Chains A and B, each alone.
Chain A
Amino acid sequence: MSDRPNILFLHVDQMHWDAVSAYGNPYVKTPAVDRIIADGCNFRASYSANPVCCPARGSWYTGRMSCENGQINNGPYPLRADLPDLGAWLRDKGDYETAYSGKWHVSRKIPDSFRQIYGQGESKGEIFDPAIGRAAIGYLDNYDSDKPFFLNVGFVNPHDCCYTSGAAGGEGKFLYDEEAIEEMPPIPENFYVHLGISQPKDPGKERYFRYYIYTYYRWMEMVDAEIGRVYDALMGSRFAENTVVIFSSDHGDGLGFHGQVSKSKMEDPSWRVPTVVVTPERQRAGEADHEHLSIALDVTATICDYAQVPLLPKTIGKSLRPLMEGQADVDWHEYIVGENWQSDGKMAVRDAQYKTILYGDGLINLFDMLHDPMEMKDLSKTDAGRAVVKKHLSYLQEHLARIEPYAPPNPTKKQPAYTVCQALFSKIEKGEVAV
């Protein structure tokens, strides 16, 4: 038997970082995710590399920012063929049996890197998540190799929130479901503040969002049930003593915060994600780590670290393993950077206290995340705020110097995100961002 641990990478799709009952959210019950959180350390200041499905996943599997790996947005943005991915890396460098069940959404065929035990090309959770879970359970139940396994389970929900019924226009939908539902959650306190700007009241929108939040939490519970079956099957098996579990989400969801749903934004509901690491020794069990800022590339580095293989080439990700082991003086991120290339594009810098969001159209927001975690008061126009933004712009320049942005030689008209990305990078590198 190998001395390398098995690794179970469980992820969900579009999970708001706080859509769990473990920390007291009374509107959702997630006993399975709560158990994972109780067994491991939840890195609460974790963020997606690019909060949209394809680029977020491309970053997980290459360990590189989406602007580096080519898969910069959903749609016709293929991964660079020369980059290795996590499945093939563990298989080739660590002699792992790699298996994949679930939603993939990376522009590379699953069988190139994993045994595809139940692939899923469609982002629909209600219909496919139970089968994704059952395939994973079956894989565990039958596994008899001497090699360690890297089992990657990609659930879809709560992503079904993208296909909710049309309550915005639906009096009927509302009347009917309000009769079926005992209580709908309230709107968030920052519902009428977006981009640091107050928005007009809209009772119809409130009703829609309350129903949206209600159903979102049901989708979350639905996938929680499947997560629980896989997690408990693992923990009830002989693999419990030598398997590291990592749980995360590709990105978040607006969930009514700032009056928004969906992703692609750099405000916390969209950008921030849960990241939990459970070790066989139950290191830091039940701890919530708010101190260490983490980006999705760290998940990749962590998996490589536990698998005892080199980190993926040229990654800026850092392994969470030393933090799990309580090592002193860990060289950690002073700040993290996220990006998104929809519309005019945007980048965000998050340090211990502040977050700057830099939009491609010139808008800048600055939030004090310690004193204003709901991101309601834009400080970018204050003297102190300008100083912070300038510091963050220098961080961005430093970040761009550390990575290797990819510029395809001839982007097509169907690939505008490449141009959007390069335009914003150029402004940052030349110091042309007006503060």
Chain B
Amino acid sequence: MIRRDFLKVAGVSAMAIAAQGSLPLLARKPRGVSYSGLYTEAFDSRFVSPNAIAPVNGYLPKFTPVSGGSMQRAFRANYTLVRQYGQTKELVSNNFDSGSLTLSFDGKQSRSEEVRHKRDEMDNTVKTVVDTRGPLHTAASWTMESSVVGVPEVHYTEQGRWDGQRMLVKGRSFSLERETSGPLIDRWSLLPLLASGKIKQQDLKFDLLDESTLRPNQTLRYMGEVTIPVAGGETNLDCYVQSGWGIVPTHYLVDPQGRVQLITMATVNWALMDLS
């Protein structure tokens, strides 16, 4: 089966196949054998759909892709953090809203404000402003501000810059330096690159600036088209995967107009809510 065809075995149809025990590897197991706890203490048998949507396949039937706006020029976007928390009895991901992300990009500067909710209400908010340059929107300089609700003594701001070989970060009382291995690109500056379609033609090798954390040696590549279940039916999206140091494979699902509708990791996933 070619990759493209395989990826189309998705969502509800794959669940139905899985329920009959007919997926290839499943079929090797005797019926009645429970996979729960077979190899890990909290075994997530997310074999019912392509990996790209596995962490959110329980959420997708409620997801309506955004149809307006564009990420190919200046934009503002809001995402919701779709937390993945194990599975339901129906063998789909158990998801709930766990935060928000507001992004804007004007062609040169990327701004983000991310809030991660926590059950004890000690929410963490991170604001970043990244000045970019060049066709890859590499990070030239940035500020990051972090705060925790109710804990003023951990609020801090750091400034960073990248000179093409090293990133330098300064807080009020510390400074640190990291060597980079390739172009340094902020995670959210990847969105206009994905929207442009350029990465369909050539893999992108880069270092990721992830809220001021350096994750070197990343590869972002086009994997093909995927059909996924959404509210009211199905939709076709281009699937890109990022792999590299310090991340689990991260998938970006992009519609034909270049809107990054979904970003899936594992417990952290982002779904586009609106775009202007």
Give complex CA distance A389, B111 in Å.
Answer: 64
Q: Known: A134-B124, A215-B248. Contact between A168 and B153, CB under 8 A?
A: no
16 additional contacts (CB under 8 A) given A116-B122, A171-B47? A118-B124, A120-B118, A124-B85, A126-B268, A140-B174, A142-B153, A142-B155, A143-B153, A162-B41, A165-B46, A168-B25, A171-B24, A179-B223, A215-B248, A224-B246, A232-B174
What is the CB-to-nearest-CB distance from A66 to chain B, in angstroms, rounded to a whole number? 18
For chain B residues 60-93, which have a beta carbon within 8 Å of chain A? 83, 85-86
Whether the Cβ atoms of A237 and B174 lie closer than 8 Å is yes
Give complex CA distance A363, B127 in Å.
Answer: 56
Residue of B nearest to A237 (CB): B174
For residue A209, which residues in chain B have a CB less than 8 angstroms away from its CB?
39
Contact with A along B37-58 (1 / 0, CB 8 A): 0111111111111111010000
- Chain A CB within 8 A of B266 CB: yes
Give complex CA distance A160, B50 in Å.
Answer: 20
For chain B residues 95-112, which have a beta carbon within 8 Å of chain A? 98
For residue A143, which residues in chain B have a CB less than 8 angstroms away from its CB?
153, 173
Q: Known: A117-B153, A137-B171. Contact between A160 and B124, CB under 8 A?
A: no
Whether the Cβ atoms of A138 and B155 lie closer than 8 Å is yes
Looking at B25, B50, B119, B247, the one whose CB has the most chain A CB atoms below 10 A away is B25
- Chain B CB within 8 A of A238 CB: yes
Residue of A nearest to B215 (CB): A225
Whether the Cβ atoms of A138 and B156 lie closer than 8 Å is yes
Whether the Cβ atoms of B40 and A130 lie closer than 8 Å is no
For residue A293, which residues in chain B have a CB less than 8 angstroms away from its CB?
none
What is the CB-to-nearest-CB distance from A107 to chain B, in angstroms, rounded to a whole number? 16
Give complex CA distance A226, B118 in Å.
Answer: 19
Q: Known: A118-B154, A126-B265. Contact between A233 and B171, CB under 8 A?
A: yes
Whether the Cβ atoms of B45 and A169 lie closer than 8 Å is yes
Interface size on B, residues (CB 8 A): 73
Looking at B7, B212, B248, B265, the one whose CB has the most chain A CB atoms below 10 A away is B248
User: 28 A–B contact pairs at CB < 8 A?
Assistant: A126-B265, A126-B267, A128-B118, A130-B211, A134-B156, A135-B151, A138-B148, A138-B153, A141-B174, A142-B172, A162-B41, A162-B42, A163-B42, A165-B46, A165-B47, A166-B35, A168-B38, A168-B43, A169-B45, A171-B25, A173-B51, A176-B7, A176-B223, A181-B249, A204-B28, A229-B176, A229-B213, A236-B174
- State which of A135, A167, A180, A232 has its C-beta within 8 Å of the C-beta of B148: A135
- Chain A CB within 8 A of B166 CB: no
- Chain B CB within 8 A of A218 CB: yes
For chain A residues 112-167, which have a beta carbon within 8 Å of chain B? 116-122, 124, 126-128, 130-131, 134-143, 160-167
Contact with A along B181-210 (1 / 0, CB 8 A): 000000000000000000000000000001
Contact with A along B245-276 (1 / 0, CB 8 A): 11111000000000000000111100000000
Residue of B nearest to A236 (CB): B174
Give complex CA distance A168, B146 in Å.
Answer: 39
Whether the Cβ atoms of B50 and A172 lie closer than 8 Å is yes
Majority-rule SS of A interface residues: helix
Give complex CA distance A288, B245 in Å.
Answer: 26
Q: Known: A118-B148, A118-B151. Contact between A166 and B268, CB under 8 A?
A: no
Q: Known: A138-B154, A163-B44. Contact between A170 and B25, CB under 8 A?
A: yes
Give complex CA distance A164, B26 in Å.
Answer: 17
- Chain A CB within 8 A of B3 CB: yes
- Chain B CB within 8 A of A265 CB: no
- Chain A CB within 8 A of B230 CB: no
- Chain A CB within 8 A of B241 CB: yes
Give complex CA distance A262, B265 in Å.
Answer: 22
- Chain B CB within 8 A of A212 CB: yes
What is the CB-to-nearest-CB distance from B120 to chain A, in angstroms, rounded to a whole number? 6
Whether the Cβ atoms of B172 and A122 lie closer than 8 Å is no
